[in-house]
Amino acid sequence: MRLEEFDYYLPPELIAQEPLEPRDASRLLILHRSGGQIEHRHFYDLPAYLRPGDVLVVNNTRVIPARLHGYKETTGAKIEVLLLKEVGLRRWEVLARPARRLPVGARVIFGQGELVGEVLAPTPAGGRLLQFYCPGGDDFRTVLGKLGQVPLPPYIRRPLERAERYQTVYARQEGSAAAPTAGLHFTPELLAGIREQGVQVVELLLHVGLDTFRPVKEENIEEHRMHSEYYAVEPGAAAAINKARAAGGRVIAVGTTVVRTLETVAGPDGKVHAGSGWTDLFIYPGYRFKAVDCLITNFHLPKSTLLMLVCAFAGREKVLEAYREAIKQRYRFFSFGDAMLII
């Protein structure tokens, strides 16, 4: 398929610059896969579309303060680093800007020297492999919490007043470079109400990495290669999902990260298997889903792998028509924007 098939025009003023309060006040577009019908609701109306016996699957990853500002040891040139993937003890794949100033062996100083990063190698995606040191003997995570910033997407131009607003209310396991934004709409009260109506809420993990920031450049999308991301599905979560499906319940995935994780660990029969590892699964139209029945997701950037996944799930024409309707109705787009339920 061609990249331009996943393009659309979005008026810039519809890019949400800040989250709504309360979280579940966002609008919710309902897209029916069977006939393409569209409804306009609010996120707090979600329980009306859930049934007892369903299972709601969420990603409990937590965004780390992954953006660091430092300077090159030899020249003093300013360097910005974005941590993407931990591959060893204090060893990270990163995006660096400007990367051309960081050959192998270069050292970057952060803060007052509390943290030092040494370039070990370039990465295939154009980043750098950095080994970090804490000369003062402090714990790396402690230093990172002091010096790092939560990385907001580049299309959000306003500073975030509360960093916690870029975390889901169930975020627990640190490791992501970006939030799984479909989950930002849930409140503790909404989740409690969902559980009370007989819907089980199950957690899994996928740490969001490079592909949130890397656009698709290949005109033939089949040539695009995803960067791998770490996932983990506990035995109890797999058992709960399989039991619900066997009893006729639906699996409602909260976000594309949950979809990719479930489809990675599902067998041909749709049964989900516990496990952990790295996934580079790229889902685009033509993919046959095994483990997901419904999807809650935000509105995604043009020509992105996230939009391609949603098009694979509901059909490209239906999804793009829903996007045109959302634009017409002045929905808010992207990370802090409104949501979509595909059933």
Query: Dmax over Cα atoms in the chain, in whole Å?
Result: 64
Domain 67-147 is found in CATH 3.40.30.10: no
Beta-carbon contacts of 294 under 8 Å, excluding residues fewer than 6 positions away, are: 250, 251, 252, 253, 341, 342, 343
pTM: 0.94
Could you tell me which CATH number the domain at 3-63+161-342 has?
A: 3.40.1780.10
3-state secondary structure 284-338: CCCCCCCCCCEEEEECCCCCCHHHHHHHHHHCHHHHHHHHHHHHHCCCCECCCCC
Q: pLDDT at position 213, please?
A: 64
| Alpha-carbon span 208 to 168, nearest angstrom | 13
What is the predicted pLDDT for the residue at 227? 86
Query: From the CB of residue 113, how many other CB atoms can be counted at a distance below 10 Å?
Result: 12
Which pair of structure tokens corresponds to residue 226? 């995803």
d(CA 11, CA 328): 10
Phi and psi (nearest 5°) for 291? Answer: -130, 0
| Residue spans per domain, the chain | 3-63+161-342, 67-147
Cα dihedral 165, 167, 172, 175 in deg (nearest 10) = -130
For residues 343 and 314, the answer to whether their CB atoms sit within 8 Å is no
Q: Which pLDDT score is estimated for 340?
A: 98
Spatial neighbors of 299 by CB under 8 A, at least 6 apart, are 323, 326, 331, 333, 334, 337, 338, 339, 340
Q: Which residue has the tokens 């050959």?
A: 103
Exposure letters 187-215 (e unless 16+ CB within 10 A, then b)? eeebbeebeeeebbbbbbbbbbbbbbbbe
- The tens digit of pLDDT for each residue in 290-332 reads 999 999 999 999 999 999 999 999 999 999 999 999 999 999 9
**204, 231 contact by CB (below 8 A):** yes
Radius of gyration of the chain from Cα atoms?
A: 20
pLDDT at residue 126, rounded to an integer: 86
Q: Encode the chain (343 residues) as per-residue pLDDT tens digits.
A: 999 999 999 999 999 999 999 999 999 999 999 999 999 999 999 999 999 999 999 999 999 999 999 999 999 999 999 998 899 999 999 999 999 999 999 999 999 999 999 999 999 878 999 999 999 999 999 999 999 999 999 899 988 889 899 999 999 999 999 999 999 999 999 999 999 999 999 999 999 987 666 779 999 999 998 988 999 999 999 999 999 999 999 999 999 999 999 999 999 999 999 999 999 999 999 999 999 999 999 999 999 999 999 999 999 999 999 999 999 999 999 999 999 999 9
Residue 47 tokens read as: 């329980």
* Start-end of H helices in the chain: 140-147, 188-196, 235-246, 256-265, 305-314, 316-328
